[in-house]
Amino acid sequence: MNLEILSIEVRWFLASIGAILVLATVIVQALIRLKPQADLGNLARRVNSWWVMTGVFTFAMVLSRNISIGFFAFISFLALKEFLSLIPTRRADRRVLFWAYLAIPLQFLWIYMEWYGLFIIFIPVYMFLLLPLRMLVIGQTEGFIKAIGTIHWGLMLTVFCLSHTAFLLILRSPDAPSEFPGVGLVLFLVVMTQLNDVCQFLWGKALGGAKILPKVSPGKTWAGFLGGVGTTTIAAWQIGPFLTVLDSGQSLLAGLIISIGGFIGDVNLSALKRDMHVKDSGSLLPGHGGILDRIDSLTYTAPLFFHFVYWSFQWHTFGTGIGK
């Protein structure tokens, strides 16, 4: 348990999230009692799933850093599996898919080893070069480019992009190599991303108006997008300096990056689902859909926020095991 080393701010923040969930549960239960004729089953399932997700995520974050890294590896596994189950694949490519799965333990091993150089090129370069080779050995050229393109695209989104979240956990300053400010940064990234999803949805419902990308996501409006960006940026500006190493200005900028990036990640996966003629990417999270439905925004916000943090400070990463 590394609860002791969690900063008092992180503990306060986790407690507030718990309080918000309690409040949401009370409101939903009251609505169900007051309006028995309205169908609120989905809302109740949604809140229940939030409890489960928050509970699992909090446990994974506070138990130990290695458990947190393993947790993100598992989320990547679920997301890649959901993606590969969703898209058309070729029978001949079973072994290629297996190799794509093998990228997950390796990618998170580099993170565990604090090996930034390999973490950042392993999937974009080495897996990019290796997977086609595996496919060539099998030799089925019919549908080759579509197959290799879709598999690598999915690997980039579900493993490479998401794994940036875990890399935040092992960042440390050369001035204080025994301190890991990552838990606060991850909480900030994940909570701001989810908050942005909820706010864009609520502002869109409340204000309606002109649609922003009607062909991809007919439910999304300019009002929802701008309302979400505004709310998330203000929340980030307030919470960032309290929870993370970012100052007010950096937090504000981070909020802007997360809210705009989150929107793109969301509609990016919406386009995939629309292409596959499905409403939800899966059924793992009752009321929400699949795992991709929940982490779609994070596939964009994680790498964007990570690089913002990575270039804003001097970090010591390259290897306690390797090199220096």
What tokens appear for 256 in the block? Answer: 């802007």
> Looking at 3, 16, 26, 94, which residue binds another protein (CB under 8 A)?
94
> Looking at 10, 76, 81, 246, which residue binds another protein (CB under 8 A)?
81
**Residues 50-79 contacting another protein, CB under 8 A:** 77-78
With contact defined as beta carbons under 8 Å apart, do 90 and 140 qualify?
yes
> Looking at 276, 307, 313, 322, which residue binds another protein (CB under 8 A)?
276
Q: Enumerate the H helices of 214-319 as residue ranges.
A: 222-243, 248-275, 291-295, 298-312
283 binds another protein (CB under 8 A): yes
Chain centre to alpha carbon of residue 322: 28
When the beta carbons of 103 and 254 are compared against another protein, the nearer one is: 103
230 burial level (CB within 10 Å; 0-12, 13-18, 19+): middle
What are 211's strand-pairing partners? 221
Total residues in contact with another protein, by rule CB under 8 A: 23
CB of 173 to another protein, least distance (A): 37
CB of 300 to another protein, least distance (A): 24
Binding window for another protein (CB under 8 A); candidates: 48-56, 177-185, 191-199, 280-288: 280-288
Binding window for another protein (CB under 8 A); candidates: 114-122, 153-161, 240-248, 282-290: 282-290
Binding window for another protein (CB under 8 A); candidates: 13-21, 54-62, 82-90, 208-216: 82-90
Q: How far apart are CA 275 and CA 273, in angstroms?
A: 5
When the beta carbons of 77 and 144 are compared against another protein, the nearer one is: 77
Q: How far apart are CA 163 and CA 167, in angstroms?
A: 7
CB of 296 to another protein, least distance (A): 17
> Looking at 18, 44, 63, 101, which residue binds another protein (CB under 8 A)?
101
CB of 69 to another protein, least distance (A): 18
What sign has the CA pseudo-torsion 186, 187, 189, 193?
positive
Q: Which helix (H) or strand (E) holds 153?
A: helix 144-155
Spatial neighbors of 208 by CB under 8 A, at least 6 apart, are: 221, 223
85 binds another protein (CB under 8 A): yes
> Looking at 282, 292, 300, 304, which residue binds another protein (CB under 8 A)?
282
CB of 275 to another protein, least distance (A): 10
> Looking at 137, 175, 210, 277, which residue binds another protein (CB under 8 A)?
277
With contact defined as beta carbons under 8 Å apart, do 229 and 223 qualify?
no
Residue 233's alpha-carbon distances to 109, 190, 201, in angstroms, are 33, 14, 16
88 binds another protein (CB under 8 A): yes
What tokens appear for 179 in the block? Answer: 């301190």
What is the DSSP secondary structure assignment for residue 7, as one 8-state letter?
A: -
CB of 43 to another protein, least distance (A): 21
SS3 293: helix
Q: How far apart are CA 218 and CA 239, in angstroms?
A: 32
91 binds another protein (CB under 8 A): yes
278 binds another protein (CB under 8 A): yes
The closest alpha carbon to 77, from 269, 303, 291, belongs to 291
> Looking at 24, 53, 63, 87, which residue binds another protein (CB under 8 A)?
87
What are 221's strand-pairing partners? 211
Q: Which residues bind another protein (CB under 8 A)?
A: 77-78, 81-82, 84-91, 94-95, 97-98, 101, 276-278, 282-284
